[in-house]
Structures are given as structure tokens and as C-alpha cells.
Structure 1
């Protein structure tokens, strides 16, 4: 069984190949079970959570195992740990173990780029990233795989984090700058991608202008929000999968209050990849909301193991 550490996982998941593999799985209609949640009770500390996300084709399968342990903050340890186990479908033999944190960050960014392939204008060059974490750091390369991104601006609740990410991107040749005023930065962007842990909206609909594409990544529980109701009402809405309407506060709460209706959600990655939905006008605002699913993990597993087979062994 091959072991991919963090660096090896990143090298094995180039965005062009990962996006193409993800598109193929969604275009073929591959589905996966919803993720399994298991609460693990802890003594004198917040309960931990075990998440299991399986998916498979006729040839290959994987399961991502994630543990969320809030008490780790007191131990100066990461709260989230994860791995992706890849197995052969015919024999059940374990083929590879992939770093779960890196694989998740890259497949999440790849899913956003796949959505943008159909929903962002083809001349989109200016990217605004809201957030400066692990997923945010992947977004410039992911979006450039599908659109001619030239300018990157970054806003974060902690300005030093935004500047650190901007500096890292500049060291790689990007035109990247941190910004302090989100209300001024939003109208200038062609693509706005939010990857935060916000529980209250950061993006306001009144800031948006015609022709933009909004990509919302961070709100992956019912208690989280990155964009206000007006943002949702101004945009043509799309999701990665229907599960997003249940899992994400971004959609679950507005659907419950009547701010948006189920009919406002016009398609998912299956519809987009199968050519059943797309951007219709240059001046419309499109909004893509993702929460992630195991089909994306499987795309990463296939891409990584295929690339490993192609590379020469010394």
C-alpha cells in the first residue's frame, strides 16, 4: 500500500487533472452516500465527532475518515485530522493512504473551479478571496485552471493572515494584495470566493454587480453563513449537490424563512457537468454553494493513484 504524506498528496493532485476527473464523475452521474456523523463522547471536554465519507466506482473506491476533536486546542494540536483510504473494488485490497487535510483542501478548491467553469464569465480575470486558510490558499491555482486569473485580492477577519497569504502568492509570481475594505473590494472582482468559518454573513448583496460569479465554500453546517439573503436573491443559485440545502446554513435558513424557494436552486454539479445548466447571460450574477461530498474525494483518490502509477519508480 502506498502512503502519500502531505507533500506527496499535493504533488499527486494537480488541479487540471483533478478538475477533469471530477467533471467526468459528475458527468457520468456517480453518486455516493451522504456523510456519516458519529458523536464520540468525551469526559470533561466537548464531544468529538467521527465523519465517514465513502464512494466507489466498479474499479476503485475510497473512504475518508475525519475526526474533529475540539479539546485539541488546549493541547496545541489540530482539531481536525483525516485520511483517505483507497481500495480496489474487485478484491477489496487497500491501495493507498492519502493525506486527508491536503486532499480535502485541493478537491474543495477543484469543485469551486469546476462550478466556475460553467458559471463564471470566460473573461473573468480578477479574483477576490474572502478568507486566508488552507482552502483559500488553493483557490488561485484552482481558478486559473479554468479562467485567465491575473489579479488576486484577499480579505480576512485577521489582516495579518490576508497579508501572509498575499505575500506567499507574490513570491510565486502572482499579482496579489491584501485588502482591508471588503465593501470596496467586492464590486471590483469578477469572481468572489469565500472560504471562512463565519457564522454571520460577511458578503452583502448590495455590494454585488452584474456579471459576477460568487463561490461560497465555508458554511458547511446549519449554524454557518457567509452571504446574506440579498446575495442569494440577486444571484442565479447552484449547488454542488442537493445535500447542500440540508447541511449548509447558507441555504437551509433562507429556505426555512422563505427568503428563497426550492425552485430558486437551478442545478447542481451533475446538471452542470452534463450540460443541463450553465450561465445564460453576461450580466447575470451566478452563485455556487458547495459543502463537499465523497464523489470529490474519489476524484482525488483516482487522480492521485493514477499519477503515482504514471511516475517512474527508482
Structure 2
């Protein structure tokens, strides 16, 4: 059986192709998706999580991602996110490939944000701010730059000394370290957050007209990256999937619980890609997007990577 390791996945992962694969999946839909989260209290604080994310497109492909999130691992020089993806052929049920789960998660999550940006951010968006110093941040920078004419990249982290822009600059990406978060948000056409924040780091009053807000990091109810003011400033609110955001992610469930919107008001990426609900209406509108992930996205990306590998061999 084929195995795609991390190096092969990163070699195959072109962001324009991945964005198109995700758009196609959202237009076609999947027949079954589910989500299971198992957790263990960590020894110091917080918790270790194990996510099981299956999805099935009948007669095409089905698969499952098993991914662990151990936040204390970087202190042991280990990645916080690790896992495995198993891909099956949909016509006969045969197991055809495994993929490195951490690498798949990185490129899928970045491509998902780029897809939402391609549909929602201003076409002339030139300044990107990425918040967070984890493994995902460089991939978000590369993915956003692949779909918009970004001429300036601001990169912020609570500990700026941990950021290394040199590899990104070597690829021609115009990255600079930002230390004043409020000023960086105010300058940005796209704000992309990939943190484990439990208190909002982005204030709505900082967002400039026309900005696209891409909330990626929080995947639990107690996690939140943007405040109520940011939610109120957007006329519509977009999520990639209801299964992984409503009642799951703090940036969605907290404003809903406060009565700032109703669940039916949310627009998911299935609806947006099919033209069933509206996108950005003008260049001054602030667009608000929450990425929760999901097995359907992993399946679309695993299928794309598998077929691209087969086609190249």
C-alpha cells in the first residue's frame, strides 16, 4: 500500500490546486462526515486531544484522519500535532494509501483558509497579517500569498524571538516581524490567526474597512481569537462547516450564545461555493470566516495528493 510521507506531501501540495480541490468538494458535497474528540488532562495544564475525522463520498473515496494534539510537545522538541490518514477506494472498499497526518493537516488547513480568502477577501488585498508562531503559520502565509497579490506580510507572535522569517524570505515571500499587534491589524487587508488563545487577541475596532478576518486556531469552546466587536462589524458570518464550528469553536458558539446571531444566519462553504448564499458585496465590507476543519476537507486533500502522486509516477 502506498504511503505519502511528510516530504512527499509538501512536494505535491501546490496551493492553487488544493484550493480548487476544496472548491470542487464543497460544490459536490460528501455523503457522510463525522467528528469524534477524545481528551486527556495534561500533566501541567490544559488537555491532550485525539481527533477522529471520517468522511465518505460514495463510490469515489472514503477515509479517516486520526490526529493528536499535545500542546506541551514543543517543550520536548516534538511536534504538537501528529497523526495518520487512511484513504480507501470507494467502489470496492480497498485501502489504497496512508498519508502523514500532520503534514496533511498543515496543507489542508492552509488551503482551506486560502479558499475562503479567494471567495471573500478583496481581489486587491496586498497586506497580510498572520498571528501565531506554530507550525501552521508559514503554510498560511504561503497559501494566502498564492491566491492574492500580497506585497507585504506581517507576522506576529506573543514571543517574536521565536519566529524565523528567513526560510519564507528565501522563497520570495515579503515577510517582516510585527511587534505592535493593534497597528499590524489596522494595516492588514487579511488577518489570519492560528493561535491557541482563550481570550481574544484581535479587537474589532482595529479592523480596517474591507478587511477579511480568517480565524483558524480555536477548535474548542474555550478558545477564542477575535472579540464580539469583530463579530458585529461583519454583516455576514462564514464557517467552513457547521459540524466543526457550531457548538464546538468559541469564536462561533460564544457570539451565538450571546444572541449576536442565530445559527441559521451562518453561511457555510458548501452554500457559498454553490452560490446559494451571498459573498462579499463591496470593497468596504469586513468579511468574517471561522475555519473549524473537518473530515470532508481532509478527504478532498488526501484524494488530490494521491491522484497527483499517481499521475506523476
The answer, yes or no, to whether TM exceeds 0.5 is yes
- Per-residue deviation at 1:39? 4.6
- Per-residue deviation at 1:134? 1.6
d(CA) in 2 for partners of 1:297, 1:114: 14
Q: Which runs of 5+ in 2 are unaligned?
A: none
- Per-residue deviation at 1:81? 2.1
Residue 291 of structure 2 is aligned to residue 282 of structure 1:
no
d(CA) in 2 for partners of 1:263, 1:61: 29
Look up the match of 1:2.
Answer: 2
d(CA) in 2 for partners of 1:167, 1:252: 38
Look up the match of 1:63.
Answer: 64
The change in CA–CA distance for 1:160 and 1:95 in structure 2 (over 3 A counts) is same
Which deviates the most, 26-35 or 206-215? 26-35
* Residues 185, 206 of structure 2: 8 Å contact kept: yes
Number of residue pairs matched by the alignment: 309
d(CA) in 2 for partners of 1:61, 1:84: 11
Which deviates the most, 221-230 or 21-30? 21-30
Secondary structure, in 3 states, of the residue corresponding to 2:246? helix
d(CA) in 1 for partners of 2:225, 2:117: 18
Residue 144 of structure 2 is aligned to residue 143 of structure 1:
yes
Residue 302 of structure 2 is aligned to residue 301 of structure 1:
yes
Look up the match of 1:214.
Answer: 213
- Per-residue deviation at 1:34? 2.6
Look up the match of 1:154.
Answer: 155
The change in CA–CA distance for 1:47 and 1:247 in structure 2 (over 3 A counts) is closer
d(CA) in 2 for partners of 1:41, 1:186: 34
The change in CA–CA distance for 1:286 and 1:72 in structure 2 (over 3 A counts) is closer
Look up the match of 2:203.
Answer: 204
**Which 4+ stretches in 1 moved above 6 angstroms?**
40-47
- Scaled by the length of structure 2, the TM-score of the pair is 0.91
What CA deviation, in whole Å up to 9, does each residue of 1:111-133 have, x standing for no partner?
11111111101111111111121
Look up the match of 1:249.
Answer: 250
Look up the match of 1:132.
Answer: 133
What CA deviation, in whole Å up to 9, does each residue of 1:183-228 have, x standing for no partner?
1111111111001111110000110111111100011100101001
The within-5 A match list for 1:100-249 is: 100-162=101-163, 164=164, 166-235=165-234, 236-243=236-243, 244-249=245-250
Q: Which runs of 5+ in 1 are unaligned?
A: none
d(CA) in 1 for partners of 2:85, 2:133: 24
RMSD (Å) for aligned C-alpha atoms? 2.3
Look up the match of 1:269.
Answer: 269
What CA deviation, in whole Å up to 9, does each residue of 1:242-295 have, x standing for no partner?
121211011111211224443542x11011111222111111100110110111
